[in-house]
């Protein structure tokens, strides 16, 4: 019986092709908009999480000041590195200094370098255009623009706050990146690098840092080590700082992007409701046009539930067709939006739309339900028609 009702419903839809396609169009537009927004949103979220994972890592803790990266806080690096489960701690400290070279001079940022920087901050490209790295405390490495400003190269002597440092090398020019100061708060192009202990000697007193990255040992319980790190921070007087893990960052990003995505999908979902109203209008018109047909069906023995099911199948079928076409159009729109964004803003390969089974199945089920629910009242009205009254209609 279901098969016969389905074929009959399909025949009735094809018999009124223009009206049916216009009805399907409303569901199609809404479904396409929702699918495109959700797929692009999920792709963007995955890309952001992957970038955070690349920069921070699953087994990494980030210590930042409560006032943002513009603030500072005291940090006992030795006590932090002594926590069980901590592999390495990397403080980031930058001071503005007066530097004088063979040709130029000026106020430039001085960075305290630790070998952990290259391992914990993948954005840093510590390649050398000339010379090499820091070996002694009286050596300095210059950024690409700093070397031009000071007119210095490997072997030259540069005065930093009236202290002589020999230039060990000049870094290759760093590419501009997103983030504070372009490279996670470490100004390599315009700065000077000395060993971290050399920087502390130039500025005696409390060890005030901009932020710190804590690398944990493989296989440790991140929650437990995080608790121990928090305890040590409090014991050593570091009270004005946040301790953040990879899970905290990704959860915050997911919450923000998820909220934006839900808001946009909700706006797009309004068009699906408009399409549902179109289905309801079409089905009401079909009931009026086929009143005598319903009367004949009931007169020859058709039951109310059969009439009800017939009209529900018709409306649900239109919703499903709109959902399938909307899904295909939505996939095309998503890829088109990513391609256009990549070419306009030079972001090729930054992220790709996400098309998974839950999204596809959800879109199809939702479009069918919208169509069926929209046709419920007209179907109920058709099923309640009295055969004699229906046969009287002209």
* Average pLDDT of the chain to the nearest whole number: 82
Mean predicted confidence (pLDDT) in 129-138 = 90
Q: Are residues 255 and 241 in the same domain?
A: no
**Looking at 15-162, which runs of residues are DSSP E strands?**
60-65, 73-74, 86-92, 94-100, 105-113, 128-131, 139-142, 157-160
Interval 99-119: pLDDT, tens = 999 999 999 999 998 887 776
Q: How many angstroms separate the Cα of 85 from the Cα of each of 92, 93, 118, 121, 122?
A: 21, 24, 21, 20, 22
Q: Are residues 224 and 92 in the same domain?
A: yes
- Residue 9 neighbours by CB distance under 10 Å: 20
The whole-number pLDDT of residue 367 equals 87
With a pLDDT cut of 90, the percent of the chain lying above it is 19
For residue 163, give the H/E element and its range: strand 163-171
Q: Are residues 220 and 294 in the same domain?
A: no
Q: Are residues 327 and 294 in the same domain?
A: yes
Mean predicted confidence (pLDDT) in 296-309 = 79
Q: How many angstroms separate the Cα of 46 from the Cα of each of 65, 109, 350, 351?
A: 27, 35, 10, 8
For residue 343, give the H/E element and its range: helix 304-344
**Rg for the chain, CA atoms, rounded:** 33
Q: Are residues 212 and 229 in the same domain?
A: yes
The whole-number pLDDT of residue 178 equals 40
Q: For residue 41, name the pLDDT band (cuts at 50, 70, 90).
A: confident
Q: Are residues 383 and 307 in contact, defined by beta-carbon separation less than 8 angstroms?
A: yes
- Nearest C-alpha neighbor of 187 from the set 149, 216, 154: 149
Interval 61-103: pLDDT, tens = 888 888 666 678 888 888 988 899 998 888 888 899 999 999 9
pTM for the structure as a whole: 0.62
Give the chain's length. Answer: 394
Q: Are residues 8 and 84 in the same domain?
A: no
Q: Are residues 272 and 368 in the same domain?
A: yes
Mean predicted confidence (pLDDT) in 207-222 = 87
Count: domains in the chain: 2
Q: Are residues 321 and 24 in contact, defined by beta-carbon separation less than 8 angstroms?
A: yes
Interval 177-201: pLDDT, tens = 444 333 445 778 888 999 999 999 9
Its domain, for residue 258, covers: 2-53+251-392
Q: Which of the listed residues 217, 245, 273 is the one where a domain comes to its end?
A: 245
- Nearest C-alpha neighbor of 76 from the set 89, 64, 86: 89
Say how far apart CA 248 and CA 342 lie, in whole Å. 29
The residue ranking higher by pLDDT, 382 or 357, is 357
Three-state DSSP class for residue 378 = helix
Q: Are residues 294 and 180 in the same domain?
A: no
Q: Are residues 177 and 201 in the same domain?
A: yes
Q: Which of the listed residues 245, 261, 290 is the one where a domain comes to its end?
A: 245
Q: Are residues 207 and 200 in contact, defined by beta-carbon separation less than 8 angstroms?
A: yes
For residue 264, give the H/E element and its range: helix 246-289
- Residue 132 neighbours by CB distance under 10 Å: 12
Interval 51-67: pLDDT, tens = 766 665 667 888 888 86
Say how far apart CA 331 and CA 353 lie, in whole Å. 8
Q: Which of the listed residues 189, 218, 245 is the one where a domain comes to its end?
A: 245
Q: Are residues 223 and 334 in the same domain?
A: no
Q: Are residues 76 and 184 in the same domain?
A: yes
Q: Are residues 66 and 109 in the same domain?
A: yes
């Amino acid at each position: 019986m279901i098969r016969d009702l389905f074929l009959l419903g399909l025949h009735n839809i094809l018999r009124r092709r223009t009206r049916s396609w216009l009805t399907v169009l409303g569901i199609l537009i809404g479904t396409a908009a929702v699918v495109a927004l959700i797929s692009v949103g999920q792709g963007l979220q995955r890309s952001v999480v992957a970038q955070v994972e690349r920069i921070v890592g699953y087994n990494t803790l980030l210590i930042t000041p409560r006032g943002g990266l513009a603030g500072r806080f005291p940090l006992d690096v030795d006590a932090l590195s002594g926590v069980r489960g901590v592999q390495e701690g990397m403080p980031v400290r930058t001071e503005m200094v007066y530097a004088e070279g063979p040709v130029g001079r000026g106020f430039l940022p001085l960075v305290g370098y630790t070998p952990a920087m290259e391992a914990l901050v993948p954005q840093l490209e510590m390649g050398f255009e000339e010379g090499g790295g820091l070996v002694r405390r009286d050596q300095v490495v210059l950024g690409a623009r700093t070397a031009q400003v000071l007119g210095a190269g490997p072997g030259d002597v540069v005065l930093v706050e009236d202290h002589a440092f020999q230039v060990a090398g000049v870094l290759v020019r760093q590419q501009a990146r997103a983030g504070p100061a372009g490279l996670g708060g470490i100004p390599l192009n315009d700065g000077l690098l000395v060993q971290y202990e050399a920087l502390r000697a130039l500025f005696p007193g409390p060890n005030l840092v901009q932020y710190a990255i804590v690398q944990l040992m493989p296989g440790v319980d991140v929650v437990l080590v995080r608790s121990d790190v928090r305890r040590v921070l409090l014991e050593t007087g570091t009270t004005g700082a946040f301790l953040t893990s990879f899970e905290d960052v990704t959860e915050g990003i997911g919450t923000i992007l998820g909220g934006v995505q839900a808001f946009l999908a909700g706006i797009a979902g309004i068009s699906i409701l408009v399409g549902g109203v179109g289905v309801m209008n079409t089905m009401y018109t079909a009931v009026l046009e086929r009143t005598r047909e319903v009367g004949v069906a009931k007169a020859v023995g058709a039951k109310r539930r059969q009439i009800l099911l017939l009209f529900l199948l018709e409306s649900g079928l239109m919703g499903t067709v709109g959902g399938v076409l909307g899904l295909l159009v939505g996939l095309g729109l998503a890829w088109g939006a990513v391609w256009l964004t990549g070419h306009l803003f030079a972001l090729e390969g930054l992220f790709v739309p996400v098309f998974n089974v839950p999204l596809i199945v959800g879109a199809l089920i939702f479009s069918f339900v919208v169509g069926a629910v929209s046709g419920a009242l007209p179907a109920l009205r058709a099923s309640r028609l009295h055969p004699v009254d229906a046969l009287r209609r002209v």
